[in-house]
Structure 1
């Protein structure tokens, strides 16, 4: 049963259904699976311009040579605390994003995504 849950969670993660995978982990009747959420938490970032995975981190994408952590509101590089929507990957300075989501529900980058972060950041 543990192998089945682990395989299903891996499949959900490959399909970028991280919230569903987290819910399955949290509600699983097996303690060994529920412990996964506390043992190693990992997140992956991608370039907001070309969508390439950012394995090594840094401020600049190795594929398109653009700055990766730019604020979707003020369009400047974020060199401190960076918040982003896990759905579309766009983000920016914490205060700028809070201000944006206090009046809007869609992404400030203009991608059309209805970011769920608006509920968390504006409260």
Structure 2
């Protein structure tokens, strides 16, 4: 979106290496056009519809698949942490800590509740 803007095109560049290009980018991003939910949706699309298809066809890709699974896990943890920070700010003070404690005590999921802590 930034790269197709009139201001960016007027600079005559194709990357953000110049100070002027970075200023155009930073000004555009101040408007809140990028957030972790959009990025999560994009990543899910790539993982579901592109990477998984190509990794499951043709050559033996076991090593790459193992790495892909670990990458999915790492990204999921990152998004859980980002979500936790966001949600902790949207609820009454102390409520998030109570929620994390309840998850710690009662969850049967294999993921440690420490990722929810803020």
Whether these two folds match at TM > 0.5 is no
> TM-score if structure 2 supplies the norm length?
0.28
Which gives a bigger RCO, structure 1 or 2 (Cα 8 Å, sep 6+)?
A: 2
Q: Which has the higher helix share?
A: 2
Q: Which has the higher strand share?
A: 1
> TM-score if structure 1 supplies the norm length?
0.28
